[in-house]
Chains A and B, each alone.
Chain A
Amino acid sequence: MTVRERIRQNISAAFYRHGLLCASYPVPIILFTSASILTCCYPLLKLPLPGTGPVEFTTGVRDYSTPSHESQGDLSERPDWYRGPPVAYIQQVLVKAAVSPWDNSLVPVDVFRSPLGRVFSVLEEIRNHVYTDRSLEALCLQVTDLLPGLRRMQAVLPEHGCLLVSPGNYWQNRRDLFDADPDLLKTVHQHEPKGLHTSATLKDLLFGVPGKQTGVNLYSKKRVVTYTITIALSSYDARFVASLRARLKQLHPSANCTLREDHMVHVHFKEEIGIAELIPLVTTYIILFAYIYFSTRKIDMVKSKWGLALAAVVTVLSSLLMSVGLCTLFGLTPTLNGGEIFPYLVVVIGLENVLVLTKSVVSTPVDLEVKLRIAQGLSNESWSIMKNMATELCIILIGYFTFVPAIQEFCLFAVVGLVSDFFLQMFFFTTVLSIDIRRMELADLNRRLPAEAGMPPPKPGPLRPRETPPPPRPSPHTITLQAPAFRNLRLPKRLRVVYFLARTRLAQRIIMVGTVIWIGILVYTDPAGLRTFLAAQVSEQSPLGEAGLPPHLGVAPVFPGGDPTSTLSGLPAPEPTPLPENQSQGHRAAHPEVAPVSSPQITWGPEDEELWRRLSFRHWPSLFSYYNITLAKRYISILPVIPVTLHLSPQEAIDTRHPQDTHHAPPPIPIPGGGWTGISRETCFAGAHARMVAALGLFAGVVLVLLLFCLYRVLCPRNYGQNGVPHGRRRRGDLPCDEYGYSPPISEISPLLLRGHSMDIECLASDGMLLASCCLVGHIRVWDAQTGDCLTVIPNNGGCWEHRDGWDHISACEAESLLGADFREPGGGAVGGQDVDIFPIRRRTTPARPALFGDQPDLTPLIDTNFGLSPPSQALSSSGFDFGGLVEKAYQEHEPSPTLAFPPSPPASQQRRRSLGDQPVLPPELPPQNNGDWDSSVWAMELRGNLIATGRSSGKLELWDAVEGSLRCSNEDGVSGITALAFLNNRIVAARLNGSLDFFTVEITKPLGLLQYRGRGSLPPSPCYSSEDVISCQLTRSVQCAHQKPITVLKAAAGRVVTGSQDHTVRVYRLEDSCCLFTLQGHSGGITAIYIDQTMVLASGGQDGTICVWDVLTGSRVSHVYGHRGDVTSLVCTTSCIISSGLDDLICIWDRSTGIKLYSIQQEVGCGASLGVISESLLVTGGQGCVSFWDLNYGDLLQTVYLGQSSEGQSVRQLLVLDNAAIVCDFGSELSLVYVPSVLEKLD
């Protein structure tokens, strides 16, 4: 065994144990896994949330100096982007203007016309401001021209010179245009985009305050107009700014303004994702989803497909999170854009392993216990999983050595992600899978439970099935239709749709989705302004400087709940004071006293300090982007705002009126209700707030419920606590229901039991119509293969076997029986212990010996009687040295086998076939020591037409008439026992123990006209013989020493006879002239199985576990595969594949042309090695008291047919497939005839 093999075995064993562990303790393991996921994700909390929101940093104005480019280590609180000069310094002049006192004669347009008009004078002031020969022109950010795509903005935004924007830009900063504008609102709104927009609009840009706060509309209750003049400075001159501030303050004093002026805020913008950048990203995500879709689509045959798919995705995602978390923990901060590399990471990590695991586990036999299925599935795929992982790690390592930092980082994440993904697969996904599969079985069990309510609960199955007696079955002859096959075969489409609907609860889900969508629409069109609320929240992503601000309402900045410094416009109007300087506390009670006219007041609160925060966070990037200046990964510095208060007299307002203003806008404000409406708006806002919170809460609740529901569906079996047997092994006879919850009607196909033999069946032969069987005592019975009637009984002619006293016989027969004995319980008998001393026999620990050699001398009856009569110790005591010698002699004659112990009970010799070549065997030169009186045990039997050919241990070949039971002829040319027979086309080939091969010719002296053919459609290959014929059998040729060692297999077909021997060779003879055509060499062990059929396909399997396919015409080896870990016990071919079974309880299906292993079926331990192919796609295997039907195309278990009630220890060793879709198998002393037409119909 190579190192690779050993590693492979170790890995497989480790995975097996791990699978058992996971399936045994699902809940603790899931808890453990979740805990470790959370632990590994914990460092993620320290990371900033991903997003493109700007980051802020505040410094004082006084000692400000432009940060240098070099990083300064001592200033650790400085963010690392705060280096170098900013793109621009933003100086905003916040203008609040109002016409006061408000006059009833004024029209609504007056609210903003004259205040807006004042912008031009302020602009003029700013432009002309000069401080010690420094003017604005020198300091401001000079822009060249707009982007070519922005033609429509050309008229509005400054195209060259200073970047200075104000509402005046709407009128090209010209007072005359403003005065001539008949409809200001139309001018302002004509640039607004239609529909939903997230970016900054032109109105926002020019006004510099959120649109609703400007007060530029006809229905403003406040009658205060707010706007800003935004100046972008390219360099910072503190003195100039200070002088500008002082000048403006002096000109337009703000009486109660207490704005802080000592902080400047630096805003760093992350990379902006534009639509062009989004397209590749979206594409990768689409590809990712397609990948996930195509991957998860392959998950099949589980209880909850979507649950598992979700688990798979969760596995991958949390492994990614874990990798990021772990990397952060070890000081590696991710610098890559997470959103961009994420799809590639998922693709690299992949869902493959998860799917492979699922597939492997699902394809294990359904009959097994859940843990064993999981364990087997895991161990089957362990090698490929490890190999893949190693390969991927290697590739990633190669990538790591490209020494490109970005790729290195990616590789590092990928490596950690791969490892954590492996961890999660092993612990999380496997456990979820086991839960899922258990759920499936529980559902099956549940269906059966009512009928068996009175029965004691089955005890939980122990770990290894071979030690457990199979549980009782509800009925002896049940055919269990397994779920997948059933699903494929039975269910009509209509029902499938219904069950699909029922299973997926489609209606429920649609309603749920509908609810969510409805809530979404509600939120979107919410009159209460939830959306604006959210938008305001989003636009205020600022980690700093928020603490002092009251909670914001984007719509109503002046109504922060409970803020004593806030003001209301709802003060009693008749108060003559035009400027109420102090805010009264009690105004909030607001008294419904009618305030016919409310005078607007201009107030300054802390919320005005950083009004730009209320703007969209794309405000500045979009402003600069119009001039092709990107703010991505750069920062701007926002200087403290300069407050300007403008009070205009009503007369001034009237003077600036446009002639159209008066008649085109009738005063829409219900004047007497002015104050009241203000108050009602306040309450309205409060109510809106409450509604918003409620809606948010509702939304969050719905999301939470959905999440919990998903979790529940994934993690919990649907019927926890409903039945008392949560972990019981599903019992064999239990009827499974398919995944649609539909249980098939029980179709009982009773196997026909053919009873009559008193001992175990030894040989079995059939030509399709007749069935001949020979039991251990030598009785031959002939049955009708159609009806199962016993036609003939040929009693043993060898005389009585019962009383043989000579211990040499005993020992001989012991030896003989030992050859084929079953080693189910090693060391069961004392003689066995003795034998161990005598023979240097390799001990096989495989508990069940698959049958290999059907033509074996059999003396079991003798043993039985002997054991019944005298204790084995007697025999032992009487056996001395001679015993050993004799046994050895017999052993040499009849091919040794690894005998260790005696079967303790009568059905012990379940497998009389010898397993081959465990021990070097001497060349069979020694003449057989058989006495004449026990020569007549039948070792081989063949049936053709009416004739039964039997080969006896004495070397005698007999031909019996099958119908009449008479001996037609016999040939005693050979003396060595006939171990195998082939009967083909009037020729009989007999292989003898000494390695010689005899060719006999059967001659019939009868006109051929009387040949009769029995049977309906299928013609037996050789004609039948009537009882009148004289039949003679002559030895035509005897090939002495055909092989160097005993012949183990003899097969004949298509005019060829193929023999396989212990000497590692296969020989091909021509049947007609018994000429040896080829000696095929290629095996490194004795030949144990040969298959040849009419199409001259020859396959051979050996003890070395290899399978060779040969070309019979040329004698060349077509393919050579390593198949099994032990002997190949049986081989069958179909037109497209080769099926082999081995000592390792594995059935492998190979592609015949390429020799590639398609898949393998792990059988239960101790299953027989008998195989049969009924049709191209239907395989039948024998097992413990049952036969199983498999779909060859998919490897699905279709049906298991139990043969009898009392068959616990019996395994099917021989299995014959008859032409009429029936199979015959031996079953202890009975034969079992199973018709499977239904299976055939469905498969074909």
Chain B
Amino acid sequence: MYSGALMRRGPYISMITNRTMNLLIRAAMLFMVGVFLALVLNLLQVQRNVTLFPPDVLSSVFSSAWWVPPCCGTAAALIGLLYPCMDRRLGEPHKLKREWSNVMRCVAVFVGINHASAKVDFANNVQLSLTLAALSVGLWWTFDRSRSGFGLGVVIAILATLATQLLVYNGVFQYTSPDFLYIRSWLPCIFFAGVITVGNIGRQLALYEYKVNQEKTHQD
């Protein structure tokens, strides 16, 4: 059935098998995912500090620091491409439950972590940090479980936090919240969870290319 479908390989399939094309498509999808998540999560964070929204809150969200969502999108694209690439290099393919439903679950948990960080009142920042860290590691354990994924996630999280801090110190970007410590305790864990999530999506997307290529070599 499978091979039969591939025998009649349409333009779509051939487009997907084209390597650069495939890469571009994946990058574009990841970019969109990143932008979307950045917008939504930004909204969640804004919500924490503003009690009531003026009707034009949406426009303000879109206008202030307009470059943040594209940056997140680019980062998502990079990370999402990096993960399968790293898997291939290391030669240890990601084996754990590679299904879209699982990816969706992962995204939902990620949004949930953000939601919790935005909505739940914590006693202090240490508690917030610890909780978020536990949740993030739980996310990794549930959906990734690869050492490489963990390492990359930690590295990227640290780098991203540093970059954000630099930006803030240089005044390019500022937090909506006056509570600086709160943000700092919140940021690395969210970055880590985000990296894991985006990596998961990227791997799942790469699976298509892998599958198609496999079929191709099989046919050849």
Contact = CB atoms under 8 A, between A and B. Distances in A.
A340 B36 CA distance: 19
Contacts of B95: 1156
B1 A489 contact: yes
Interface stretch (B66-74, B106-114, B168-176): B106-114
Contact of A287 (B46, B61, B111): B111
A488 B1 contact: yes
Interface in A330-383: 340, 343-344, 347-348, 350-352, 355
A288 B116 CA distance: 17
Interface in B48-103: 51-58, 61, 95, 99-101, 103
Could you say which of B95, B103, B104 has the most chain A C-beta atoms within 10 Å of its C-beta? B104
A1028 interface: no
B218 to A, nearest CB: 10
A317 to B, nearest CB: 16
B54 A347 contact: no
A340 B123 contact: no
A220 B138 CA distance: 66
A298 B127 contact: no
Given A298-B101, A398-B134, A276 B57 contact: yes
A1019 interface: no
A879 B122 CA distance: 87
A819 to B, nearest CB: 44
Nearest to A410: B116
A628 B99 contact: no
B78 to A, nearest CB: 23
A337 to B, nearest CB: 8
A625 interface: yes
Interface string A666-694: 00000000000000000000000000000
Contact of A399 (B43, B111, B134): B134
B119 interface: yes
A280 B46 contact: no
B47 A277 contact: yes
A395 B131 CA distance: 12
Given A283-B40, A402-B131, A276 B120 contact: no
Given A280-B115, A283-B40, A402-B127, A347 B108 contact: yes
A481 B142 CA distance: 40
A800 interface: no
Interface string A1193-1208: 1000000000000000
A290 B120 CA distance: 26
A274 to B, nearest CB: 5
Contacts of B130: 402
A404 B134 CA distance: 13
Interface of A, helix, strand, loop or mixed by DSSP: helix
A720 interface: no
* Contact-size category for B: 35 or more
Given A280-B40, A280-B43, A404-B127, A344 B109 contact: yes
A294 interface: yes
Contacts of A31: none
Contact of A294 (B43, B101, B120): B101
Contact of B105 (A350, A355, A628): A350
A404 B109 contact: no
A288 B104 CA distance: 8
A291 interface: yes
B210 to A, nearest CB: 15
Given A407-B120, A407-B131, A276 B58 contact: yes
Residues of B contacting A: mostly: helix
Contacts of A295: 101
Interface in B1-51: 1-2, 36, 40-41, 43-44, 46-47, 51
A632 B134 contact: no
B121 interface: yes
Contacts of B134: 398-399, 402
A343 B1 contact: no
Nearest to A1176: B218
Contacts of A1156: 95
Interface in A1152-1202: 1156, 1193
B54 A284 contact: no
B135 interface: yes
A347 B44 contact: no
Contacts of A340: 115, 119
Given A147-B54, A149-B54, A632-B52, A347 B61 contact: no
B47 A276 contact: yes
Given A280-B44, A404-B122, A404-B127, A399 B135 contact: yes
A803 to B, nearest CB: 61
A590 B196 CA distance: 76
Contacts of B104: 287, 290-291, 294
A297 B138 CA distance: 26
Contacts of A287: 104, 107-108, 111
A1009 B215 CA distance: 45
Contacts of B2: 1193
Interface string B127-160: 1001100110010011000000000000000000
Nearest to A289: B104
B49 to A, nearest CB: 12
Contacts of A348: 109
Given A347-B109, A488-B1, A404 B131 contact: yes
B61 A276 contact: yes
Nearest to B44: A280
B105 to A, nearest CB: 5
A275 interface: yes
A398 B54 contact: no
Nearest to B1: A488
Given A280-B40, A291-B108, A344-B108, A351 B101 contact: yes
A649 B120 CA distance: 63
A276 B108 contact: no
A881 interface: no
Contact of B138 (A148, A291, A294, A398): A398
A173 interface: no
A61 B12 CA distance: 74
A284 B118 CA distance: 14
Contact of A404 (B55, B107, B123): B123
A1193 B215 CA distance: 13
Nearest to A281: B115
Contacts of A398: 134, 138
A279 interface: yes
Contacts of A355: 101
A953 B2 CA distance: 51
A532 interface: no
A716 interface: no
A1011 interface: no
A399 B132 CA distance: 10
A279 B53 CA distance: 13
B4 to A, nearest CB: 9
Nearest to B58: A276
Interface string A915-944: 000000000000000000000000000000
16 contacts: A147-B54, A150-B55, A274-B53, A276-B53, A280-B111, A284-B111, A287-B108, A287-B111, A291-B104, A344-B112, A351-B101, A352-B101, A399-B138, A404-B127, A406-B119, A630-B52
Given A283-B36, A291-B108, 20 more contacts: A148-B54, A272-B52, A274-B53, A276-B46, A277-B47, A279-B43, A290-B104, A297-B101, A343-B112, A344-B108, A347-B108, A347-B112, A350-B105, A355-B101, A395-B141, A402-B127, A404-B120, A404-B122, A625-B52, A628-B54
Q: Which 8 A-B pairs have the closest CB atoms?
A: A291-B104, A294-B101, A295-B101, A294-B100, A488-B1, A406-B120, A347-B108, A630-B52
